[in-house]
Amino acid sequence: MLSMHIGNAIKPMISKNIEYLRRKSPIGCRDTTSLEFLRQQGVESFFSGCLTLLMQNTTKDAKRNEIIYLTDVNDEVRKLLPLEIQQKGILLAHNMNGAARLNKFSRFKAAYDLIEKYSKAKLVVTQRIHSALPCVAMGTPVIFINSPNMPGGGGTKSESSPRTQGFHELFYIVDLYKMSIDEAKVWLHNFDWHDPHPTPSSSLLKRLRATSWNIIRQKNALHEAALKFGVIPFPHFIPPDGNKQDLFHLIFTTKGTRVINLFHGKESVLSSLNWRHWRCIESIFYHHPFAKVIVHSNTLPHRTFGVLKESGYDIEVRRYNLTKMVNGTPAQSFMTGKYNEVKDGKYWYSHETDLLRMLILYKMGGVYMDIDVILVRSIRELPVNVVGYQSNGKIMNGAFMYFEKYHPFLNKSLEHFAKNYNQYSWAANGPLLITSILHSNNSAQYNVSVLDQLAFYMFPYYRVVDECFQQTSGKTFKKNMKIFKEKTFAVHLYSKYSAAQGLNQKLKEGTICKNLLNSFCVLCDKWY
């Protein structure tokens, strides 16, 4: 079930029949008020938003006109608008009058005409939620007036309509519950009416689309119809800040890892890619919806992340050839010399990724993350050319690195790997290599920022299971929760030690990892 709204009038009836919804769970809720109600009733549920957010422009590449529509805006609200907008804004209403409203064809035509108008509009000002949401879906800028007695129902003089809860960040919003009349007039006067930009939160829009689409596509007929009629992939929106696209790299191999069956949609893929790995990728898109994510893997099928690509995210599985990648780098001598002697060694599966991540960053730049790292904050708050301590003042780790391509530190690391490769130590060519180069104040020499342990490795590997997956109270728990909420940029979960957590049963309620692994989702229909 998707996009369910539960109004106050039917809550008693729903409560009497709650077992039915429990059997059908998880339930997709149109608004967060309905979500809270169902969770209080013990029904597993998630925020899916309204299915109108899946709508697309009626005409491909339609050019926008200069029309501003005022849809179902009452006289009191219209008087708040600048005089020029009051005069040139075109009034629209969703309600139909007369015999036409009883004719099914007439109703469909009226709805289509509205959608066509909205798809080309410069801006829509409305008090009607089902005018605002389709506009957002089609990339049309919206000013939503949140006020009492809205058309469509909901909203008293003192309490905002539950029908709109969870959607506010999708729009430019004038909230008359929180703003005085004078404040609303000032806000509307200062708004850029000449060049309004689309939805302020493309991130939320993309997440809601992805969550709903992840369920819909599991029905073969619906998936095939969406492909046939060009509904998917959903359109990419232009980054609102105009900055260049953030680039993230992940490496995935099956060597040295536990192999399980992953069922995703209609496909069954034999791999060790489990839901925790998906959450790693989702956490990137949660904070960086316009990022490009490259998963470097010679084992994952190219179709693995189809649901994310169809939902408008930029992700690809890219094959790698180590021999070709080292060409023209300081590590080239390693492949022609030592490689054949050590490639079957006990730790090569790990050392290969140590080398590969350095090569990737050296040639492409961007962020490298281990696939058991969850991003907690935007990298825009980080300095470029950065690594972090795994234990303060002692060992650095390469599970999270952010570098410009061809950086001198990466050059030195590749050179060190080739000259000093140690096949007998798991950490020698990764953490210890990074530490040896950057210790003794050499980080300044290489223009590298080394952040303290809290930035990426707030949990020691030997305490990650207890402190992240088990603790729900106590002094250590409170300290860690404060770090998680205020300081850390990413959390390394050390799958080598915590891999079994959450794979066969729900994560423990109240733990930091329950929060971490469910807060930064993109495919949010599952609660782990």
Q: How confident is the model over 123-170, as pLDDT tens digits?
A: 999 999 999 999 999 989 999 999 887 887 767 777 788 888 888 999
Element (H, E) at 57: none
Q: How confident is the model at residue 240 (pLDDT cuts 50, 70, 90)?
A: low
Kindly state the percentage of the chain with pLDDT values over 70: 94
Q: State residue 254's pLDDT score.
A: 66
The answer to whether residue 190 scores a pLDDT higher than 50 is: yes
Q: How confident is the model at residue 257 (pLDDT cuts 50, 70, 90)?
A: very low
Q: How confident is the model at residue 238 (pLDDT cuts 50, 70, 90)?
A: low
The answer to whether residue 527 scores a pLDDT higher than 90 is: no
Q: State residue 503's pLDDT score.
A: 83
Structure tokens belonging to residue 460: 């020691």
Tens of pLDDT, residues 78-121: 999 999 999 999 999 998 888 777 888 999 999 999 999 999 99
Q: State residue 326's pLDDT score.
A: 94
Tens of pLDDT, residues 328-341: 999 999 988 888 88
Per the document, the length of the chain is: 528
Q: State residue 270's pLDDT score.
A: 41
Q: State residue 182's pLDDT score.
A: 95
Q: State residue 239's pLDDT score.
A: 61
Which residues have C-beta within 8 Å of that of residue 114, sequence separation ≥ 6? 92, 94, 131
Instruction: Identify the residue whose tokens are 């990074």.
Output: 434
Q: Which domains does the chain have, with CATH numbers?
A: 1-49 (no CATH), 56-200 (3.40.50), 458-527 (no CATH)
Mark out the alpha helices in 178-326 (DSSP H runs): 181-190, 202-216, 220-228, 275-287, 306-310, 322-326
The answer to whether residue 507 scores a pLDDT higher than 90 is: yes
d(Cα 356, Cα 217) in Å, to the nearest integer? Answer: 35
d(Cα 498, Cα 512) in Å, to the nearest integer? Answer: 14
Instruction: Identify the residue whose tokens are 């050179």.
Output: 415
The answer to whether residue 441 scores a pLDDT higher than 80 is: no
**Class of residue 436 by CB neighbours under 10 A (exposed 0-12, middle 13-18, buried 19+):** middle
d(Cα 405, Cα 368) in Å, to the nearest integer? Answer: 12
φ/ψ of residue 25, rounded to 5: -65, 160
Kindly state the percentage of the chain with pLDDT values over 90: 71
Q: State residue 241's pLDDT score.
A: 59
Q: State residue 140's pLDDT score.
A: 93
Q: State residue 269's pLDDT score.
A: 39
Of 391 and 91, more confident = 91
Structure tokens belonging to residue 423: 């096949």
Q: What mean pLDDT is predicted for residues 481-503?
A: 94
The answer to whether residue 261 scores a pLDDT higher than 60 is: no
Q: State residue 444's pLDDT score.
A: 79
Q: State residue 442's pLDDT score.
A: 78
Q: What mean pLDDT is predicted for residues 168-190?
A: 94
The answer to whether residue 255 scores a pLDDT higher than 60 is: no
E-assigned strand segments in 245-385? 247-251, 260-264, 267-271, 292-296, 314-318, 366-369, 373-375
Q: State residue 272's pLDDT score.
A: 66
Q: State residue 202's pLDDT score.
A: 82
The answer to whether residue 29 scores a pLDDT higher than 80 is: yes
Tens of pLDDT, residues 269-320: 345 689 999 999 999 999 999 999 999 999 899 999 999 999 999 999 999 9
The answer to whether residue 264 scores a pLDDT higher than 50 is: no
Tens of pLDDT, residues 37-60: 999 999 999 999 999 999 988 776
Asked which of 98-112, 349-363, 449-463 is least confident by mean pLDDT, the reply is 98-112
